[in-house]
Amino acid sequence: MSALPRVSVVVPCFNTERYIAATLRAVLAQAGAELEVIVVDDGSTDGSAALVEREFPQVRLIRRANAGVAAARNAGIAAATARWVAFCDADDIWLPDKLVAQFEAMAAMPGCRMSYAAWQVWPSDEAAPDPALLEQVAAESQDTPRWAGATGWLYPELLLDCVVWTSTVLMRRDLLDEIGGFDTELRIGEDYDLWLRASRVTRIERVARPLALYRKHPASITRSAPRDNYRGRVVQRAVDTWGLAGPDGRQADAAAVRERLAGSWSEFAYAQLQAGQRAAARRSARQALRVQPGHWPGWKLLLRSWLPGEGRAA
């Protein structure tokens, strides 16, 4: 295709000194792209911001007090001057033709204002990926079934799963102006909420081959329960606001959505039980059963919440 539109790339950063250089090199290596790269340092206590300032003078650095990733991304969006905005977390990696592939996919669907792509999970604590891994991922074919996924008017699919990953998203700035930015009250699931809102007003085209590496840190297993059932809260709010039908008339299966909501409450109950919060786990298990009375995991967790020896507090 002809020259790509200019893109503002928003990179929220919090204590990622070990990884952010590789992330920024991958972003800046985008083929044929004119980029405005904006790193929003969210109150890091390591050398992340200093590294960006020292090694990447072409990158715009915004320093701010810690307020969470949603607020950091919103600050980047507010500073962006391009017509298109992309997101990349500070420890993930883009492939060099990511933006080209996404603009080509959207060009085939006039009026489309957002796209995302498949991704390769990368369990690693290395500072940068091995070049051989990048070559292997780049060689993946779009015809490989494992990379297929939902595309188009995604609202019904999103009610059942957050199929969109933030570090692959490319969207029009006027779309963000229309639907608003990330909800700063959501410490988790702020991206899921935004994609649901976007799915009400635009097609979301998927590129069915991996265009990014999603880093999973081997030692990043949390030992504390989340403060809220953010996933259930996001999905329930969408259902309460828009119901089950998407703008194209397709409707999510009501029983599947109820099971999804009940599952979010039982998973939350399990996390609370593991953290020793037995009374809270009991309340969450009961909420799962209110949503779906026949939800077996909810019954099992409710029983476990009463058993001696369950949870760290016992």
Q: In whole angstroms, what is the distance from residue 77 CA to residue 88 CA?
A: 12
Give the DSSP letter of residue 29: T
Q: What is the pLDDT of residue 222?
A: 46
Task: Mark 74-89 as b/e (b = at least 16 C-beta within 10 Å).
Answer: bbbbeebebebbbbbb
**Spatial contact of 247 and 153, defined as CB atoms under 8 Å apart:** yes
Intervals of CATH 3.90.550.10 along the chain = 7-216
- Taking a C-beta distance cutoff of 8 angstroms, is the pair 11, 48 a contact? no
Structure confidence at residue 218 (pLDDT)? 72
What is Dmax (Cα atoms) for the chain?
67
Q: What is the pLDDT of residue 290?
A: 96
Encode 216-248 in three state secondary structure.
Answer: ECCCCCCCCCCCCCHHHHHHHHHHHHHCCECCC
Q: Cα–Cα distance between 307 and 314 in angstroms, integer?
A: 9
Query: What is the per-residue pLDDT for 313?
Result: 42
What is the pLDDT, as a whole number, of residue 224?
60
- Please tell me the distance from the alpha carbon of residue 34 to that of residue 71, in angstroms, as a whole number: 25
Query: Residue 245: its pLDDT value, please?
Result: 98
Decide: residue 281, CB within 10 A, 0-12 exposed, 13-18 middle, 19+ buried: buried
Residue-wise pLDDT tens digits, 73-108: 999 999 999 999 999 999 999 999 999 999 999 999
**Rounded to whole angstroms, how far apart are CA atoms 26 and 262?**
40
Element (H, E) at 42: strand 35-42
Which residues lie closer than 8 Å to 130 by C-beta, 6 or more apart? none
Measured in Å, how far apart are the chain's first and last C-alpha atoms? Answer: 62
Which pLDDT value is given to residue 226? Answer: 78
Under 8 Å between Cβ of 283 and 272 = no
From CA 229, how far away is CA 284, in angstroms rounded?
9
Quote the percentage of the chain above a pLDDT of 70: 95
Residue 142: predicted pLDDT: 83
pTM of the model: 0.93
Regions of the chain with pLDDT less than 70: 1-2, 219-225, 309-314
7-216: CATH topology = Spore Coat Polysaccharide Biosynthesis Protein SpsA; Chain A (3.90.550)
Instruction: Give Cα 112 distance to the centre of its chain.
Output: 20
Sign, CA dihedral 33-34-36-37, equals: positive
Spatial separation of the C-alpha atoms in residues 66 and 15, rounded to whole Å = 11
Model pLDDT for residues 159-172, shown as the tens digit of each residue: 999 999 999 999 99
